[in-house]
Amino acid sequence: MLGRLNHVAIAVPDLGAAAAVYRDTLAAGVSPPQPLPAHGVTVVFVDLGNAKVELLEPLGEDSPIAAFLARNPAGGMHHICYEVDDILAARDRLLAQGARVLGDGEPKIGAHGKPVLFLHPKDFCGTLIELEQV
């Protein structure tokens, strides 16, 4: 079921500073900041060739990463995204195994324009997992 590692999302309090760390200190390729109001974040993509890091800064009220940054004011790894071929089959398999899918269990269109679901960290080693259908 589990496919490739698509990205690791790092929540940061200051996106400009975080992008500078990756661009200047680590000499990685970074995108311009992209506001995603529907997702409550502004994102900078770090291209690592085989996968991405996504630097996320809260955007607007009720950002989904606001609580995480309140607990981790310096930032930190927020979630890991794995690819799946069929997100509904993946969801049904997970539910049948007793794992919890966040929200109403219906895939939403994620930041890459593809269907995504988030899984409960308590069922996955304390890690927030995003599944993205590719």
Site for its own copies, rule CB under 8 A:
1-5, 8, 10, 12, 18, 21-22, 24-28, 46, 48-51, 53, 55, 72, 74-77, 80, 82, 93-94, 97, 99, 121-127
Considering the candidates 54, 57, 83, 130, report the single residue annotated as catalytic: 130
Closer CB to its own copies, residue 4 or residue 38?
Answer: 4
Reply yes or no on whether 130 is catalytic.
Answer: yes
Provide the minimum distance between the beta carbon of 131 and its own copies in the complex, in angstroms, as a whole number. Answer: 9
Could you tell me the two tokens for 36? Answer: 């995603």
- Other C-beta atoms lying within 10 Å of the C-beta of residue 10: 19
Using alpha carbons, select from 82, 16, 8 the residue that is nearest to residue 47.
8
Whichever of 57 and 59 has its CB closer to its own copies, that residue is 57
- As to burial, measured by CB atoms within 10 angstroms (0-12 exposed, 13-18 middle, 19+ buried), residue 78 is buried
